[in-house]
Structure 1
Amino acid sequence: MSKHLFTADFEINASAKMLFPYLNTPSGLAQWMADDVNVNEDKVYNFIWDDEDHLAKMVSHRTNQYVKFEFISDNEEDKDDASYFELRLETNDLTQSTFIKISDYSDMNDTEELMDLWESLVENLKETVGG
Structure 2
Amino acid sequence: MSKKVQYELEYPVRCSPSILYEFLSTPAGLQEWFADKVDFRDNVFSFSWNGATEEAEVLEQEEEEFIRLRWLHAPNGEFFEFRIQISEVTNETILVVKDFAEKKEIADQSQLWDYQVKDLFHRIGN
- The secondary structure found in structure 1 opposite 2:97 is strand
- For 1:68, the aligned partner's letter is R
TM-score (norm 2): 0.89
Q: Find the aligned partners of 1:11 and 1:45 in 2 and give their Cα distance.
A: 26
Which shows bigger deviation, 121-130 or 2-11? Answer: 2-11
- Seen in structure 2, the aligned counterparts of structure 1 residues 31 and 51 have a Cα distance that, compared at 3 Å, is same
Match of 1:84 among 79, 84, 91: 79
C-alpha separation in 2, matches of 1:46 and 1:56 = 7
Give the letter aligned to residue 70 of structure 2: E
For residue 108 of structure 1, report the CA deviation from its aligned partner.
7.8
C-alpha contact 2:36 2:50 (8 A) present in aligned 1 = yes
- Cross-structure match for 1:61: 61
Structure 2 residue runs without a partner (length 5+):
none
**Given that residues 26 and 38 in structure 1 are in contact (C-alpha distance below 8 angstroms), is that contact kept between their aligned partners in structure 2?**
yes
Report the Cα distance in structure 1 between the residues aligned to 2:77 and 2:56, rounded to whole angstroms.
10
2:7 is matched with which residue?
A: 6
Alignment partner, residue 106 of structure 2:
111
Aligned partner of 2:25 in structure 1 is: 24
Query: Quick check: 1:54–1:71 contact (8 Å CA) kept in 2?
Result: yes
1:98 aligns with 2:99: no
Shift of 1:116: 0.9
Distance 1:108 1:70, change over 3 A: farther
Identity %: 23
* Stretch moving more, 42-51 or 114-123: 42-51
